[in-house]
Chains A and B, each alone.
Chain A
Amino acid sequence: MITAGIDMGAKNVKVVILKDDKILSRSLTPGRFDQKAAAEKAFNEALQKAGLSHDDIEHVVATGAGKDVAPYANGEISMMGADALGGAFLFPSARTVIDVGAEEGRAVKCDEKGRMVDFVINERCAAGAGTFVEAMSRALEVKLEEIGPLSLKAERAVPMNAQCTIFAESEVVSLIHAKTPKADISRAIHDAIADRIASMTRRLGIQRDVVLVGGVAKNSGFIEALKRALGVDLLVPDEPEFVGALGAALSPTRRIGECEK
């Protein structure tokens, strides 16, 4: 069976095409203001990479914040359900999947079949999400892709008390004025977001193995910070931002989610 998963994320649209559980192609397009157009672009790119036409796809399953406007979708699955399926597919030993994306952080507990059994979300606050890192990198005048590696060069842990993005930004400015090295400030930023995600995950109960997915999982500084905060090792896939789309593409064969939209 050939299936496609579309993850209509807050920042990027991701598409994965699967054939009998084998990934044929992936595609990512920034969502911007027209998420539907972005999804069409990503979907067609994924088809092209896989050498398929639209008619070859039996099920298209949408997930993510904008799933209601996903084109071509004939099914849908919750973001948490997709994370659980995708995470457990890549790492069968996974029992906890943490997803940190642009808009929110969430943690999902799953069973050996990748079926979600519980979840928790960081609601209505950018402090536990990728947006927080973006805002801090701007305040620090460091490119987003550099802030993670920079934090690994820190020589000491600097406490950052504010959880709110707005207050944290002013705290970063204060640290700059105090001549704190940028590497130490970078680590403080990652420690702050990691502490928040760890605290949220503990409410769920940390069960190993723990998988980290979502766009922020590409940030090496955050991975290290979260390992420290949780006190456990993390399994991180090569393409962490595609795990939601992968889970959506897996859902028709696993009969999880609503496949008749």
Chain B
Amino acid sequence: MAEKRYKTKPLDCWNEAKQLRQNYYENFVKAHEIGGVRWAGGAWSFSAVPAGLGDDIYSLTGEPYGATVAYNKDFAEECHEAIEAKGYARDLCAYMRNYWGSIVLNKYVWGGEWPKPDFLWTTHICCSHAKWYQVAGELEGGIPYFCVDVSVGPYNEVNERRLNYIVSQMIDGIEWMEKVTGRKYDDEKLIQAVYNECRATSLWAEICTLNKAVPAPLDEKTMYSLYVMGTLMKHRKECADFYEKLRDEVKERVANQIAAVGNERFRVMTDTQPPWAFLELWRYLQEYGVVSIGSLYTFGLIGIFEVKEDGTWGPRTTPQEQGIEIETREQALRVLAEWTLSRPEWQHFYSPELKSDMMKRIVKEWHVDGVMLHYNRGCEGLSMGIAENKLALKEAGIPVMHFEGNMGDEREFDLERTRAEIDAFLEILGAR
């Protein structure tokens, strides 16, 4: 029987995505030339908050920067060697080592010298994150640093007291920002940034939800280049506007059965960050008609979901869609904190069961045939509990494999051996 082939074509908005990303990194470097302010911090940080300092505030988020370095194997190795020579252990977060290495080398991955930020604004999302910027600030010669502790438990346990804990820290943080920058804070800009963030992250969830369609309109390798906008600037209007345009295009692809992988026969999902220097494996899957439709990581690091009336996952209804008008600083911070704590990828820091349940949901609703787990030595946070997730998936009768590696340090990844394991998994699925 002839193999079924779907229509396929590149995304129309692909170049716009590349341009947005390039502008982001260039604008950060040029910020001081126009009298602007630079801040750096984790992609998990409450990035809408510094937006109240003005329209000329530019950020550099560490994880996507670390991933960009990882993709450039030679530079990544240079960074690792530089930071290890300073006495930092090689089993620390690989993104963090890429970032610190860049500081020590005084090299920006996009060329030129390392662009020092004016202040550091981050969250204590995992063990690495708080120390990441504390050390970065020291390596950079003493950059002012503020970290919001967010260890208030999973979303299903959030209450007013826990929200107050986060909101009060952000209120202190705003006063601190005013002191270190000498600028007056504008609550209207904060409110607009919160609206933008809710819109952008709900739209990304909607885009991921559209990938339930068969054939999948997007493959995960492509999604890596798109979700990144949310890790760079989820609070900015251009991010939300881009996701709206992308959502419309993906809707059109679904309506016209335009596939990401023309020979789609099997659907898999992955987990955690990929080994960035070896994304060719995602293309290798496609040779056998296997599309990776995404992962809890690709969906839920940025996308904010909710359970819809029919019991399935879909994009969370935004405050503006609910007719909520944000009028004060405290209200904006409360909306932002509550919204952020519902992020799917946040939950497993507290319980592998919560993550397993979400993974099983994705398998069912996205019509997934098998799961490929990355035991990622480069990120203890997202790999935490992953062996328990594997057991839970197996108990649910879902074919699952794991491969060992590192998202940002190729010294801990064996391409050929991983390919051999993937070959075996494809045989189990019947794809080979």
* Residues of chain A within 8 A of B424, CB atoms compared: 78-81, 116, 119
Q: CA of A77 to CA of B423 in the docked complex: distance in angstroms?
A: 8
Contact A78-B427, Cβ < 8 Å, known A65-B420, A258-B432: yes
* Residues of chain A within 8 A of B432, CB atoms compared: 78, 257-258
* Residues of chain B within 8 A of A256, CB atoms compared: 427
A56 contacts partner chain B, Cβ-Cβ < 8 Å:
no
Contact A123-B423, Cβ < 8 Å, known A116-B428, A117-B428: no
Q: CA of A119 to CA of B420 in the docked complex: distance in angstroms?
A: 12
Q: CA of A237 to CA of B295 in the docked complex: distance in angstroms?
A: 42
A124 x B414 contact (CB < 8 A): yes
B427 x A81 contact (CB < 8 A): yes
Pick from B404, B414, B420, B428: contact of A79, CB below 8 A: B420
B427 x A257 contact (CB < 8 A): yes
A77 x B427 contact (CB < 8 A): yes
A78 x B420 contact (CB < 8 A): yes
Contact with A along B386-421 (1 / 0, CB 8 A): 000000001000010100100000000010110011
Pick from B404, B420, B423, B428: contact of A124, CB below 8 A: B404
Q: CA of A79 to CA of B401 in the docked complex: distance in angstroms?
A: 15
* Residues of chain A within 8 A of B414, CB atoms compared: 123-124
Q: CA of A53 to CA of B423 in the docked complex: distance in angstroms?
A: 31
* Residues of chain A within 8 A of B423, CB atoms compared: 76, 78, 81
* Residues of chain B within 8 A of A65, CB atoms compared: 416, 420
A40 contacts partner chain B, Cβ-Cβ < 8 Å:
no
A118 contacts partner chain B, Cβ-Cβ < 8 Å:
yes
A121 contacts partner chain B, Cβ-Cβ < 8 Å:
yes
A116 x B427 contact (CB < 8 A): yes
> Of residues A78, A79, A119, A123, which shows the largest number of chain B Cβ atoms within 10 Å of its Cβ?
A78
> Of residues B421, B424, B432, which shows the largest number of chain A Cβ atoms within 10 Å of its Cβ?
B424
* Residues of chain A within 8 A of B428, CB atoms compared: 116-119
Report how many residues on chain A are interfacial, defined by Cβ distance under 8 Å.
17
* Residues of chain B within 8 A of A257, CB atoms compared: 427, 432
Chain A interface, >50% SS class:
mixed
> Of residues B399, B401, B420, which shows the largest number of chain A Cβ atoms within 10 Å of its Cβ?
B420
**Once A and B bind, how many residue pairs between them come within 8 Å at the CB atom?**
38
* Residues of chain B within 8 A of A81, CB atoms compared: 423-424, 427
B417 x A124 contact (CB < 8 A): yes
Interface positions, chain A 158-178, Cβ under 8 Å from B, are: none
The distance from the CB of B358 to the nearest CB of chain A, in whole angstroms, is 23
The distance from the CB of B198 to the nearest CB of chain A, in whole angstroms, is 42
The distance from the CB of B266 to the nearest CB of chain A, in whole angstroms, is 14
Q: CA of A123 to CA of B414 in the docked complex: distance in angstroms?
A: 10
* Residues of chain A within 8 A of B416, CB atoms compared: 65
Q: CA of A80 to CA of B420 in the docked complex: distance in angstroms?
A: 9
The distance from the CB of A234 to the nearest CB of chain B, in whole angstroms, is 22
> Of residues B399, B404, B416, B427, which shows the largest number of chain A Cβ atoms within 10 Å of its Cβ?
B427
* Residues of chain B within 8 A of A121, CB atoms compared: 421
The distance from the CB of A190 to the nearest CB of chain B, in whole angstroms, is 26
* Residues of chain B within 8 A of A117, CB atoms compared: 428
B427 x A123 contact (CB < 8 A): no
The distance from the CB of B123 to the nearest CB of chain A, in whole angstroms, is 34
B404 x A123 contact (CB < 8 A): yes
Q: B422: nearest residue on chain A (CB-CB)?
A: A78
The distance from the CB of A88 to the nearest CB of chain B, in whole angstroms, is 14
Q: CA of A81 to CA of B420 in the docked complex: distance in angstroms?
A: 11
The distance from the CB of A110 to the nearest CB of chain B, in whole angstroms, is 10
* Residues of chain A within 8 A of B421, CB atoms compared: 119, 121
Contact with B along A225-261 (1 / 0, CB 8 A): 0000000000000000000000000000000111000
The distance from the CB of B376 to the nearest CB of chain A, in whole angstroms, is 14
Q: CA of A153 to CA of B406 in the docked complex: distance in angstroms?
A: 44
Q: CA of A47 to CA of B315 in the docked complex: distance in angstroms?
A: 63
Q: CA of A81 to CA of B429 in the docked complex: distance in angstroms?
A: 12
Q: CA of A76 to CA of B288 in the docked complex: distance in angstroms?
A: 14
Q: A204: nearest residue on chain B (CB-CB)?
A: B394
The distance from the CB of B414 to the nearest CB of chain A, in whole angstroms, is 6
Q: CA of A119 to CA of B394 in the docked complex: distance in angstroms?
A: 12
* Residues of chain B within 8 A of A123, CB atoms compared: 404, 414, 417
The distance from the CB of A37 to the nearest CB of chain B, in whole angstroms, is 20
Q: CA of A98 to CA of B13 in the docked complex: distance in angstroms?
A: 50
The distance from the CB of A214 to the nearest CB of chain B, in whole angstroms, is 15
The distance from the CB of A7 to the nearest CB of chain B, in whole angstroms, is 13
Interface positions, chain A 116-151, Cβ under 8 Å from B, are: 116-119, 121, 123-124
The distance from the CB of B420 to the nearest CB of chain A, in whole angstroms, is 6
Q: B404: nearest residue on chain A (CB-CB)?
A: A123
Given contacts A78-B423, A81-B427, 9 further A-B contacts (CB under 8 A): A65-B416, A80-B427, A118-B399, A118-B428, A123-B404, A123-B414, A256-B427, A257-B427, A257-B432
16 example contacts (A-B, Cβ-Cβ < 8 A) are as follows A77-B427, A78-B423, A78-B424, A78-B432, A79-B420, A80-B427, A81-B424, A116-B424, A118-B428, A119-B401, A123-B414, A123-B417, A124-B404, A124-B417, A256-B427, A257-B427
Q: Which residues of B contact A (CB under 8 A)?
A: 394, 399, 401, 404, 414, 416-417, 420-421, 423-424, 427-428, 432
Please list the 9 inter-chain residue pairs (A to B) with the smallest Cβ-Cβ separation, ordered nearest first: A78-B424, A80-B424, A78-B423, A81-B427, A258-B432, A123-B404, A119-B424, A78-B427, A116-B428
